[in-house]
Amino acid sequence: MDLTGLGIGTWNIGEDPKKKKDEIAAIRYGLDNGIKIIDTAEMYGEGKSETLVGQAIKGYDRSQIYLISKFYPYHATPKLERKSLEASLKRLGTDYLDLYLLHWRGSHRLSDTIRGLEDLKKEGLIRQWGVSNFDTPDMKELFSVPGGRACFANEDLYNLDHRGVEYDLLPWQEENKVNFIGYSPFNSGKGNTIRITHNLKTVARDHDATPHQIMLAWALRSGKILSIPKSGKVSHMKENIAAQEIKLNDDELRLINSDFPQPTHKLPLDMI
């Protein structure tokens, strides 16, 4: 499956029983309307997100869904990776993952992490493996380790407020054929929000859209990355799906850039 376009993020989903019905409905609406990629992690609600995703996808053709999950950096040894994966698979109700990511850099040697992941891949328990919250130096180090060039994807924060990856990481990943997954396109992972500027409102009005739809259309504009907004309600999922049809022209992009400038030098990798 092509790892570009729109996916479903699940950070903070599955943690409130009162929201369970709406969250499952939102995921199923996405699956029923063309979205095939779901991103989760053992960290999210300490497995509650994976459990909810497993309930949401029950009854669907597993081969038509691309499941991504992540493991803690302190589980990044062959033995602990296997233990984490087995627990994730049980919660998700599946016998394999399409993509398994190291959630962020830890203290374990990358060579050990890769060895464990390659073993899981050979056994068919995962189809591909990758990393998350890696910057350009991290990726270069990963590629210097035996087996590191098999990294399929890297997932990082990417939105209008956090564009640092554009300076060097995105070009490096494109050159080295590593897929890029951008999380938190609305910067809402910890309740933060991107400021709604006059220009954003203007562009949104011209497209009969919301400013948040413009933020998502902007993140998707290159057609080369996967963006994974969280949607806990069907109404939000509908808005996200509709945002895929918004094409921003050069004048609109210049307006947006005037409020949220492109990086002109190397910036520290942002995480939320």
Question: Residue 33 in 3-state DSSP?
Answer: coil
The backbone torsions φ and ψ at residue 236, rounded to the nearest 5 degrees and listed phi first, read -70, -40
Task: Specify the pTM.
Answer: 0.97
Query: Which of 194, 221, 237, 244 has the alpha carbon at shortest distance from 9?
Result: 237
Query: Which of 133, 44, 57, 137 has the alpha carbon at shortest distance from 97?
Result: 57
Q: How far apart are CA 211 and CA 148, in angstroms?
A: 39
pLDDT at 188: 79
pLDDT at 224: 97
Please report how many Cα atoms fall inside a 13 Å half-sphere around the Cα of residue 99, on the Cβ side. 26
Q: Is 44 a catalytic residue?
A: yes
Please state the three-class secondary structure of 112-143 as a single string.
Answer: HHHHHHHHHHHCCCEEEEEEECCCHHHHHHHH
Q: How far apart are CA 239 and CA 143, in angstroms?
A: 38
- Specify whether the CB–CB gap between 52 and 12 falls below 8 A: no
**Catalytic residue, candidates 44, 66, 100, 183:** 44
The backbone torsions φ and ψ at residue 37, rounded to the nearest 5 degrees and listed phi first, read -110, 130
Q: How far apart are CA 134 and CA 137, in angstroms?
A: 8
Q: Which residues 6+ apart lie within 8 Å of 12 measured at CB?
A: 44, 45, 49, 189, 230, 232
Q: What would the two tokens of residue 116 be?
A: 């464990």
Question: Which contiguous run of DSSP H or E holds residue 227?
Answer: strand 226-228
pLDDT tens, residue order, the chain (272 aa): 779 999 999 999 999 999 999 999 999 999 999 999 999 999 999 999 999 999 999 999 999 999 999 999 999 999 999 999 999 999 999 999 999 999 999 999 999 999 999 999 999 999 999 999 999 999 999 999 999 999 999 999 999 999 999 999 999 999 999 999 999 999 976 556 899 999 999 999 999 999 999 999 999 999 999 999 999 999 999 999 999 999 999 999 999 999 999 999 999 998 88
**What ranges in the chain are assigned the alpha helix state H?**
20-32, 48-57, 78-92, 110-122, 136-144, 169-175, 198-206, 211-219, 234-243, 250-259
Q: How far apart are CA 86 and CA 254, in angstroms?
A: 47
pLDDT at 191: 59
Please count the other Cβ atoms lying within 10 Å of the Cβ belonging to residue 28.
Answer: 18
Q: Bridge partners of 39?
A: 9, 68
